Amino acid sequence: MQKLLLISAMIFTFLLNFESQAQTPQDLFEAWEKNRISKIFPSDTRHADLKNYLEQLKKLDIKVWEVGRSYGNREIYQVEWGKGPLRVMMWSQMHGDEPTATPALMDMFAFLQKNRDKAWVKKIEEMITIRAVPMLNPDGSELYQRRNLQGIDINRDAQKMQTPEAQLLKKLRDEFNPQIGFNLHNQQGLTTVSGTTNQAAISFLVVEGNPDLSNKEGNERNKRLSAAMINALQNFIRGNMGRYIDSYNPDAFGDKFSDWGTNAILIETGALYGKDEMFLVRMNFIAFLTALNVLANGTEKNFSPINYDILPNNGSGNLFHFIFRRANIVIRTAVDFLPTTTDIAVNTQRRRASMFAPSTVAALGTFPFARGLEEYDVSNYYLVSRLDAIKVGVLSEFNFYRKDRQIDWKAEDFDKKFPPDAIFSGGKWIKPLPK
């Protein structure tokens, strides 16, 4: 029944908007490559790189100015484009290690300014004023950590206002008084679409805020906006989008923005196996411009909130980066050397693209309903840890030996006498399993 409703809503949306859409998702997909200024993986983008992007926007005659300083005295900037009565505020990287939307915002502004001669872009400029704060937490970004230099989660500082970054965000909201806010984050790369083992590459939440203060009309509009973005992204990540369950948190900025009169949409970027970080920058670019386009031309009203409401919730716990199926673990310090057969799940920690990312054992046992982004049947091999005993939390440094080899596990100079047939180290195959 839910699938039938989704199909019906999508057909209805398509028919209503076939002629009114000035720019197709595929057009935006291609436009990103031609117009983008982002050249660095988001996870490798530091404060100095942001300043370089902002200088490029200034050269395009886009208004950019410093609006405050972080706890570590790094500059925080605001970008403005458009001159319309509808005010939209966007902010990214209030968590320093959640960077995807920052370059997407840079690319969005560059595209808008370079394409002001297009009728649909001109319409956005006439109808909307956009202000964005890219990299609200530059100190956290520099250290690639969630919190600011005070060790405070800025996104949980909406009431106490202990951080200069939170105080600034509130001040900027109050000065601009936007009707719509986009709260831009990253979620874990192994976040799934509920009921599946599909990665949630993008997840949405229409933040309704305090039920007693809720702006129902604004929330319904944001559901339609989300439906428009979902509809556009279906072309590229169908089956890889999820939705957060809304629960009011007065300490969170999304909820407080909604309480203060700015209905907020949370967009969380995850990961997608086989696609790099720049692909997800492109997905954000498409989503942002789709939302602005339908707001400006009025077709937002034609989208059904059903497309948002029936989007599956996020899930977790049944997806891993690697699963080694039917591993025969041998502990060389044991007395009897009898192997233990089990599945081993391994996850890689989130790091900058240019940095080493440790991989650790996430689970041991049998996982019939779990999936690994990469899975290996190692039933014909003995597995020996190159470091500690294999248990949850230890580094996944594994040597593999074919079971048909005659191996003396007690031998001195063991590694020289019995070189492994395969080596898994640092989350990759140093010596691949023989085919």
| Torsional sign, CA 284, 286, 290, 292 | positive
Find where tokens 């195959």 sit.
429
- Joined together, the tokens standing for residue 210 give 């305090």
State whether residue 219 is helix, strand or coil: helix
Find where tokens 């530091």 sit.
46
| pLDDT for the residue 5 | 53
What is the third-level CATH fold of 319-431?
A: Urease, subunit C; domain 1 (2.30.40)
Map out the domains of the chain as residue ranges.
Answer: 2-315, 319-431
Tell me the mean pLDDT in the region 281-309.
98
Q: What is the amino acid identity at position 270?
A: G
Q: Is 48 exposed, middle or buried (0-12, 13-18, 19+ CB in 10 A)?
A: exposed
Q: List the CATH code of the domain at 2-315.
A: 3.40.630.10
Q: What confidence tens digit (pLDDT) does each residue in 162-182 have? A: 999 999 999 999 999 999 999
Q: What confidence tens digit (pLDDT) does each residue in 371-407 have? A: 999 999 999 999 999 987 899 999 999 999 999 999 9
State whether residue 89 is helix, strand or coil: strand
| pLDDT for the residue 2 | 55
Q: What confidence tens digit (pLDDT) does each residue in 129-161 have? A: 999 999 999 999 999 999 999 999 999 999 999
pTM of the predicted model as reported, rounded to 2 decimal places: 0.94
Question: 94 CB contacts (<8 Å, ≥6 apart)?
Answer: 136, 137, 154, 155, 165, 169, 183, 185, 253
Overall residue count recorded for the chain in this entry: 435
Residues of the chain above pLDDT 90, percent: 90
